[in-house]
Structure 1
Amino acid sequence: MYQKKTPVQLDCGLQFFKELLNGKWKLMLVYYISQNLKRPSELQRKIPNADRRVMDKQLQELVLHGFINKKTFHTKVPKVEYELTELGEKLLPLILTIEQWGEENRLVLNKAMEKDPKFEHVV
């Protein structure tokens, strides 16, 4: 199992947030699960550029950290669904605020991305 080389500092709430919710798709996964997209295939269709392996790993981490629950249905064809926990529900207003901020500042942020070489491939 992977172990970080530097110890995790948890001196403030932002550090907890960063450690537990740092991941390319985590906030989007929480948001889409709140929008009633519960199955991994539905989430994959909504975020088509997400690597399925990465998305599955981040879903597992969200379950481990208590933001979502995983329900497994033992049917002939096994089925999995996700739902938000109380902790995940409490995260939603923050996600919606961040999304609104991104929309309100889209022009400025696009200009900033144009200047940054790591965003060359972004259209």
Structure 2
Amino acid sequence: MYKKKTPIQINCGLHFFKELLNGKWKLMLIYYVSQGFHRPSELQQKIQNGDRRVLDKQLGELVNHGFLEKQVYNTKMPKVEYKLTPLGNDLVPLIIVMEKWGEEHREDLEKGLKNDPKFTDVL
């Protein structure tokens, strides 16, 4: 099992936030579950460039950390749905504010992306 080389910092709320919600798709997964997309296939359709294995891993981490709840239906064709816990639900307004901030500053953020060699194929 993978063990981090640097110790986890938990001496302030921002460190907790970063450690538990650091992941390429985690905030988007929480947001889309809040918008009514509960099944893994629905989430995959919303995040089309997200690898299914990565999405499943991050969904599992969000369940383990208490942001999502996983419901498994024991039917002929097994069915899985995710729903927000109170902790996850409490995070949604913050995600919406961050999304709005990103839209309001899109022009400046795009300039920053153009100057970063990692993102030359994005814009």
Shorter-chain TM-score tier: over 0.9
Looking at structure 2, the residues matched to 11 and 69 of structure 1 have their Cα atoms a distance apart, in angstroms, of 27
Which residue number in structure 2 is paired with residue 51 of structure 1? 51
**Matched residue SS, 2:69:** strand
Looking at structure 2, the residues matched to 36 and 93 of structure 1 have their Cα atoms a distance apart, in angstroms, of 15
Looking at structure 2, the residues matched to 6 and 42 of structure 1 have their Cα atoms a distance apart, in angstroms, of 36
Which residue number in structure 2 is paired with residue 81 of structure 1? 81
TM-score (norm 2): 0.99
Residue 71 of structure 1 and its aligned partner are, at CA, apart by 0.2
**Matched residue SS, 2:111:** helix
Which residue number in structure 1 is paired with residue 68 of structure 2? 68
Looking at structure 2, the residues matched to 54 and 107 of structure 1 have their Cα atoms a distance apart, in angstroms, of 30
Residue 60 of structure 1 and its aligned partner are, at CA, apart by 0.1
What per-residue deviation string (whole Å, max 9, x for no partner) do you get for residues 34-84 of structure 1?
000000000000000000000000000000000000000010000000000
Looking at structure 1, the residues matched to 57 and 109 of structure 2 have their Cα atoms a distance apart, in angstroms, of 29
Which residue number in structure 2 is paired with residue 27 of structure 1? 27
Which residue number in structure 2 is paired with residue 17 of structure 1? 17
State the number of aligned residues: 123
Q: Which runs of 4+ in 1 moved over 3 A?
A: none
Residue 96 of structure 1 and its aligned partner are, at CA, apart by 0.5
Unaligned runs of 5+ in 2: none
Which residue number in structure 1 is paired with residue 40 of structure 2? 40
Superposed CA RMSD: 0.5
Residue 8 of structure 1 and its aligned partner are, at CA, apart by 0.7
Looking at structure 1, the residues matched to 44 and 121 of structure 2 have their Cα atoms a distance apart, in angstroms, of 21
Percent identity reads 65
Looking at structure 2, the residues matched to 52 and 120 of structure 1 have their Cα atoms a distance apart, in angstroms, of 25
Letter in 2 for 1:57: K
Which residue number in structure 2 is paired with residue 104 of structure 1? 104
Looking at structure 2, the residues matched to 5 and 72 of structure 1 have their Cα atoms a distance apart, in angstroms, of 35
Residue 9 of structure 1 and its aligned partner are, at CA, apart by 1.2
